[in-house]
Structure 1
Amino acid sequence: MVTTSLPTERPRSRGRAAGFWWLALTAVAIAAFAPLPYLSTSLRGLAAQDDAFAASYAALPGWAQAAFYVHIVCGGIALALSPLQLAARIRTRLPRLHRVNGRIVALSILPAGLGGLVLAPSNQAGLIGTAGFGLLAVLWIGFVGAAVRAARRRHFAAHRRWAVRTFAMTYAAVTLRLWLGVLTPVLAGFGMDPEAAFELAYHLVPFLCWVPNLLLAEWLLRRPTVPVVSRTGGAGA
């Protein structure tokens, strides 16, 4: 049997590995550090320190503040654990871990999404924020529900597709902060006041934090699958 050379196999593998580690490390970093100020200091205390986010939530009734804490804690759990669901080696070698971790992620997304839906009308971006963050919460819950339903029916191809879409929504917690970190200095560089630049950037991110994620996920899901040719000339899965 003829031996086949695959010069592009290793770069593709390295690219996928680099992409996975970028997603995993950024997800864990945001999941660990973003909630810390709100868990270590009260909303009123942070509002007194001129934290605009805390100030917008400190004035809410107790039940809405409870929804805020549910959102950041459960959302953080889902964000930190979701990269494990993307790891093919875990799916194939440790299927029980994949199932258990998937259940934890799904059970975390449900209250986190509901909390986000409750908080959507209280965001700092007004109606566009209510629409963007509200739709994000609805789709997040809907996608994870579809992923769970497909898994229970043993429709594993459909389950993986819905899981990818779910992660695209979960990762919005990371891309929101990335977009703010990029847009604010760029807008300020055009002569805007830094506070005004941040305010404009925050009016853009309610949709910008998740729509490109979802479009990228759909593009990846629709790419033609190229079979991997083995070094002995056969085709592998």
Structure 2
Amino acid sequence: MFLREMMKLHDRITTPNQYPFNIPSIVHLDRLAFTRNVTFFVGENGSGKSTLLEAIAYQCGFNTAGGSQNNTYELADSGALLGDYIRLSWMPKIRQGFFLRAESFYQFAAHIDELAKEDRRAYASYGGKSLLAQSHGESFFSLFQHRFGQRGIYLLDEPEAALSPAKQLAFLSMIHELQKSAQLIIATHSPILLGYPNAEIYSFDANPIQHIRFEDTDHYQVTRRFLENRKQYLRELLD
């Protein structure tokens, strides 16, 4: 494990009533400790989990549109507004890794295509061919299989976005292998991924952000109740 703690720099914030500082989970955020190699951020849409993950990516020196320190391309809505207002504590400091931003994955894949026009070896870390020449799910899996694996820190924002349930299960195996030499922080809505054993789970629906058990997450409870009482749920929703 490399990243030990994240601290918010309250004294630098001059506009506390503006986004992103007015997100409830960020308002009450002071520091967050990382004690395990796999950490999950969970919470409703807009709860701040992706905002914080992007800020951590910014402090790691990764491109906040997605990629590593070596990927330089521009994306208008990837400014990491919280990035300058947090500090990371490392032991040891590491620069290798990757930031996956599911919503801008197409732009990242297009960036790799541009690099490959100059040197086809740019595809070597992505299965040997363009990510855009594969289905959305296949391109995600190619990234996980070929780009991940080395010692480093991996920040993943909704990696399940393009994965079928079966592929999510396969990705759990990848997580297990990767965490032996790397640290992962994952923002997710997937109850399958959240089921990874002994992971640290932080709920952004609580203020302040709090640890939560897998079985206590809404993701697990809502999914379980729906599967066990599908007809009743549908009747209440649709009648």
Q: Same fold (TM over 0.5)?
A: no
From the two aligned structures, give the one with the greater helix fraction: 1
- Which is greater in Rg? 1
From the two aligned structures, give the one with the greater strand fraction: 2
Name which structure has the greater RCO, CA cutoff 8 Å, separation 6+: 2
Report the TM-score when normalising by structure 2: 0.29
Report the TM-score when normalising by structure 1: 0.29
